[in-house]
Amino acid sequence: MLSENAQGTADRHIELSSREQDVLQYLYGYWDRHYCAPTHREIATAMGLGSVGWVAQILHSLKRKDRIVVKGKRTARPKDWKKS
């Protein structure tokens, strides 16, 4: 279960699974190189996942844990990512 701090927002200190960490690192690298979000298919291919459904689940989990920002169906970026 997701814990909340005194302000009622998600606690960013919740541990990530190794798969979540891998996807988050991939997002950082992709944004650094392309300045846009990868498609779910690109993430699935890079992570060796057979289904974009798994990507959707991982991204949903990262959003719930307040690690990424999701806008629309495609745009997912690390919450603290800054353009280099």
Are the C-beta atoms of residues 47 and 25 closer than 8 Å to each other? no
For residues 30 and 75, which has the higher predicted lDDT (pLDDT)? 30
Q: pLDDT tens digits, residue range 8-56? A: 445 556 899 999 999 999 999 999 999 999 999 999 999 999 899 999 9
Does a structural domain hold residue 42? yes
pTM, rounded to two decimals: 0.79
Is residue 9 in a domain? no
Structural domain including 32 reads 18-78
2 within some domain: no
Q: What is the CATH number of the domain that holds 55?
A: 1.10.10.10
Domain count, the chain: 1
Distance of alpha carbon 7 from alpha carbon 5, whole angstroms: 5
DSSP designation for 75: E
Has residue 25 been placed in a domain? yes
State residue 75's pLDDT score: 80
Residue pLDDT, tens place only, 23-35: 999 999 999 999 9
- 67 pLDDT exceeds 90? yes
| Structural domain contains residue 24 | yes
